[in-house]
Amino acid sequence: MSNLKRFRALEERDINRETFVESWPEAGLMVADSPYDPHPSLRIENGRVVELDGRAEADFDTLDCYIARHGIDLLVAPEVMALDSLTIAHMLADINIPRAVLLRLAAGCTPAKLVDIMRHMNVLEMMNGLAKMRVRRIPANQAHVTNRRENPALLAADAAEAALRGFAELETTVGVARSAPFNALAILVGAQTGRGGVMTQCAVEESLGLRIAMKGLTTYAETLSVYGTEQAFVDGDDSPWSKAFLASAYASRGVKVRFTSGTGSEALMGSAEQRSMLYLEARCLCVTRGAGSQGVQNGSISCIALPESLPGGVRAVLAENLMASMLGLEVASGNDALASHSAIRKSAKLMLQFIPGTDFIFSGYSAVPRKDNMFGGGNFDADDLDDYAVLQRDMQIDGGTRSITEAEAEAIRRRGAQAIQAVYAELGFPDIGDHEVEAAVQAYSSDDMPTRDIVPDLVAADAFLAGDRSMVDVVAALARRGFTDVAEHLLTMGRQRIAGDYLQPAAIFGRDFVVQSAINQPNDYTGPGTGYRVEGARWHEISHIHQAKSPRDFIADRLGSPLESLAGYGNAKRGGSTEVVVAIGPAFGRIMTKTIGGLNHEEVLKAVLTGIAEEGLIGRIVRIWRSSDCAEIGHVGAKLSGSGVSIGIQSRGTSIIHRVDLARLNNLELFSQSPSMTLDTYRAMGRNAARYAAGKMTTPVPVTVDNWARLRLIVKTALLHRRESEEIRDLPPEALRFDWEPEV
Amino acid sequence: MPTYPLYDNEADSLQAASGRALRDVTLDAALDGSLTIDDLQVHRSALLAQADIAKAAGYAQLAQNFARAAELTVVPRTEIIEMYNILRPGRASREELDALSRRLEQHFQAPICAAMVREAAEVYAARGLLRHHDAL
């Protein structure tokens, strides 16, 4: 343990629960610029690549072979390989160079060339590049919907809510593989209840995934993993050709495909070949594009803690997102697996994708609590939903979600759970009871769900998978049970499958099943005033988080009718030497009758006058009409005070002890923490003012300092001050009679 | 070239893999039992149209994937999965890969997929990714 108390405090911080190591290139533990990374090179003879990144054709491994044949546009390659990487980096950061120019050039880059371009860029420049290179015009977001108990009612309720919150894609997975068809079904029905057009997937083994997709239960697949070295690829039980074939197999059934790669996977698998993580990722991306995937899920994904343990790890993750977008690939940019114990660190990391906006900012925002997330935790989860909505509102950024009210959530969760209940009943699956539906509506997590016997569910799921029944039967079941709108949404997903529009790059469905992709909605950002701007209805939606209140009636409980005990009687004059003037603001005791801390103005005046009387002096009340400023109120009061000492009080309660010989903005004591003040504080203030007036030695009144008060109450403070300022009149100070005598 | 999105612009000519016209894919059909899952599968012509659209927009490799996918629409599900498994590293001999290529070309009229399998076989042989006792 540290000796220094501050170091001991630092040791306790969340950030120090993480592991940090120095780079070790020989083990592949280096995020970028390994001394063993090759220099960019490309030799083409008779239309054939004979050297790639320093390696001759005879020495090509499978990835080199694949990239040489499918991953590089050989017509552009000579031009771009001859260009200085720094020049291309400039073009990426330059908002005046449109996306299309860079897409064309990047297509001719070797993996080492892509990495060499990144070498020149800092995170700000990369973010600028990513904002321009993102495939789709409007960013979007994906959610994870899973639970440990694999409860169908809860899955459907969570999917319905996630869809209503604006997620464009929902991904589920399984604890037990045999649950796959039912989990896919539950989130399909839930998603189409929440919003028609939300795309869904179930991450399972490939052949099972294909069978589920062919029943119409999923619309996309993104867990087609690729790796940057031959050994890691083979250990993953694939080659670039088998993955390309699988991509075509999915597309042949109308399923959108996204590959998965990310920094750190090769080092984790022990076969990084001394190369940096970023260089290996560049190879993955060239394979991904070559295989004809429309996009990639990258950003280290489940390996994120590994680059984050190394210097520059978060920068490298941004670089891999940017390289993918340069290659025209839709990017689902990570931020999914649990990456940090520290809320500061995880939020800061998110900004690199959130601010530029990516096609999917999260490749899985956990729409469920962390313990129910079956994908490695969920770096942001259901508990963070309000934080995430506020981040969008703060920065006027479209993060792909919207805030909903509790009533909206309750209604859509119930309808989603009831829809899957109806499907189960109609298709003869194990009964989902009303108590399960209600539990799913109310639940925080699967711990709140009643026990459900999983064995009959698995038996029914097996039969469903093996049999002829499909999404068509689900549509009919929903319609027969009165869920016509949900049935129509499911059927429209099926009809869209016939068209295949959503197979195109970065395709999602907006409202009313309007497809948005690289074909009809390509990113056209070229700097201020161009591209997608957060405005109009969407900005209204982002602005209006459910917690936001109207400020118009914010201070209603501080207003009241004028105090009957307080009456004016003409212009105030200067008084005798045994007095302390109590100067109050224009609204005090007439428009406003309580301080910000809820003290009645009448009680405040009594406390102050009592304090003054306790020291044998007299308090005289004067209203200042020409200013609502605390120092000015106090200073004018001091000029009128026979002793030269005054107390100035604003209606919200902020107070000052002033003296006539001091500069206006100086004071004897200032009480700026009005929310923390009590009647005792006001009484002590009165005593001290009287002691100053009598020329006695005086200890300042101790005040409670609450630094959070300003944060909590600043809106109220501003509105109270605004209200008081409205009462300013061009009138001289007014003498007031207070119908009360202190008992001292 | 067909106009994207096909769903909005080419709805009258779109049909499912089964041959059923898109306009006949209705809730009533689902309710009267005349609709099957094959009526909700993509037809090869739609994939070829998407390939043209992708190519024209500069996504050549994606277009090639759609062209392969169009060829694979006629391959039954179980056989597609078998083909995928054969293509995985260390699963097949050179002869088995050649046979797969021939089957794609001759039985399924899938020349692009066949060529891809031939290319894989060539690289697998060079890199030791054929089934082991054959490679030695």
Q: Which of A468, A475, A520 sits opposite B30 (nearest CB)?
A: A475
Interchain contact, B39 vs A472, CB within 8 Å? yes
Query: What is the token pair recorded at A415?
Result: 């309808």
DSSP state of A388: H
Please tell me if the domain spanning A144-218+362-383+407-548 has the same topology as the one spanning A556-738: no
A618-628 mean pLDDT = 98
Give the model's confidence band at A207: pLDDT under 50 very low, under 70 low, under 90 confident, else very high. confident
- B133 pLDDT tier (thresholds 50, 70, 90): low
Is the pLDDT reported for residue B82 higher than 50? yes
Transcribe A531-544 into DSSP letters: S----HHHHHHHH-
Contact B37 A471 (CB under 8 A): yes
Instruction: Report DSSP letters for A230-275, one per residue.
Output: HHHHHHTT--HHHHHHHHHHHHHTT-EEEEE--TTHHHHTT--TT-
Q: Flag if B7 and A289 touch (Cβ within 8 Å).
A: no
CA distance A107 to B120: 23
**pLDDT for the residue B135:** 46
Of the pLDDT bands very low, low, confident and very high (cuts 50, 70, 90), residue A358 is: very high
- CB-nearest partner of A504 from B36, B50, B113: B50
Q: Residue B66 contacts by C-beta under 8 Å, 6 or more apart in sequence?
A: A251, A292, A503, B47, B48, B50, B51, B54
Element (H, E) at A364: strand A363-366
* Tokens (6 digits) for A367: 């729409």
Q: How far apart are CA A300 and CA A262, in angstroms?
A: 4
Q: Does B66 touch chain A (CB under 8 A)?
A: yes
For chain A, the structural domain boundaries read 17-133+219-332, 144-218+362-383+407-548, 556-738
Distance CA A595, CA A290 (A): 69
Cβ-contact A112, A40 below 8 angstroms = yes
> Whole-angstrom Cα distance, residue A445 to residue A470?
29
As a whole-number percent, the residues of chain A with pLDDT over 70 amount to 100
Among 3.40.50.20, 3.40.50.1110, 3.40.50.300, 1.10.1510.20, name the CATH number for the domain at B74-136. Answer: 1.10.1510.20
Q: Give B117 to chain A, closest Cα distance, Å.
A: 8
**Beta-ladder partners of B21:** B15
Tell me how far the alpha carbon of residue A14 is from its chain's centroid: 20
Largest CA distance in chain A: 108
**Residue of A252, A427, A524 to mutate, interface with B, max B Cβ within 10 Å:** A252
How do A42-45 and A48-52 pair as beta strands?
antiparallel
Average pLDDT of A55-76? 98
**Polymer length of chain B:** 136
Name the token pair of A219: 């619309």
**Residue A10 scores a pLDDT above 60:** yes
CA distance linking residue A66 with residue A291, whole number of Å = 9
Under DSSP, is residue A669 helix (H, G, I), strand (E, B) or coil?
A: strand
The CA distance from A52 to A65, in Å, is 9
The closest of A692, A676, A597, A680 to A644, measured between CA atoms, is: A692
> Does the pLDDT of residue A303 top 70, yes or no?
yes
CATH of domain A144-218+362-383+407-548: 3.20.20.350
ipTM above 0.90, yes or no: yes
Report phi then psi at A84, rounded to 5.
Answer: -60, 135
Q: Evaluate the omega torsion of the peptide bond into residue A35 and state whether it is cis, within 30 degrees of 0.
A: no
CB pairs under 8 A between A and B: 217
What's the whole-number average pLDDT of chain A? 96
Nearest of A264, A271, A276, A246 to residue A301 by alpha carbon: A264
Q: Tell me how far apart the alpha carbons of residues A498 and B41 are, in angstroms, rounded to a whole number.
A: 6
Least confident of A145-154, A203-212, B20-29, B119-128: A203-212
Nearest to A244 by CA among A230, A256, A259: A259
Contact: A251, B65; criterion CB under 8 Å: yes
Task: Copy the structure tokens of residue A29.
Answer: 């533990």
Interchain CB distance below 8 Å, A246 and B84: yes
pLDDT tens digits along A243-282: 999 999 999 999 999 999 999 999 999 999 999 999 999 9
**AA letter at A280:** L
Contact A241 B36 (CB under 8 A): no
Contacts of residue B59 in chain A, CB cutoff 8 Å?
A: 294, 328, 504-505, 518
Class of domain A17-133+219-332: alpha beta
Is residue A244 within 8 Å of residue B100, measured between CB atoms? Answer: no
Residues of chain A contacting residue B41, judged by C-beta atoms under 8 Å apart: 214, 253-254, 497-498
Across the range A578-590, mean pLDDT stands at 98
Output the pLDDT for position A710.
Answer: 85
Cβ atoms A664, A655 nearer than 8 A: no
pLDDT digits (tens, 9 = 90+) for A671-718: 998 899 999 999 999 999 999 999 999 999 998 888 898 889 999 999
Q: Is it the case that residue B136 has pLDDT exceeding 50?
A: no
What lies within 8 Å, CB to CB, of A408 at 6+ separation is A164
Whose tokens are 């029914």? That residue is: A460
Which residues of chain B neighbour A496 with C-beta distances below 8 Å? 7
Q: Rounded to a whole number, what is the distance in Å from the CA of A209 to chain B's nearest CA?
A: 11
Q: Cβ distance A458 to A176 under 8 Å?
A: yes
User: Which residue is listed with tokens 């020989």?
Assistant: A26
A202, A218 contact by CB (below 8 A)? yes
Sheet holding A42-45, edge to edge: A42-45, A48-52, A55-56
Q: What's the CATH fold of domain A556-738?
A: Rossmann fold (3.40.50)
Q: How far apart are CA A521 and CA A135, in angstroms?
A: 9
Q: Which residues of chain B does CATH 1.10.1510.20 include?
A: 74-136
Q: Are strands A169-173 and A199-203 parallel, antiparallel or unpaired?
A: parallel
- Residue A363 vs residues A109, A357, B94, B131: alpha-carbon distances, Å: 26, 13, 39, 36
Q: What is the DSSP string of chain B?
A: -PPSSHHHHSGGG-BBTTS-BGGG--HHHHHTT---GGGGSBPHHHHHHHHHHHHHTT-HHHHHHHHHHHHHTTS-HHHHHHHHHHHSTTS--HHHHHHHHHIIIIIS--HHHHHHHHHHHHHHHHHT-S-HHHH-
| Confidence bin at A231 (pLDDT 50/70/90) | very high
Return the pLDDT at A378. 86
For A64, phi then psi, to 5°, come to -55, -45
Test B89 with A234 for CB contact under 8 angstroms: yes
- CA distances to A41, A192, A199, A589 from A478, rounded to whole Å, are 59, 11, 19, 64
Segment A137-142 shows an average pLDDT of: 98
| Residue of A62, A245, A292 lying closest to B129 (CB–CB) | A62
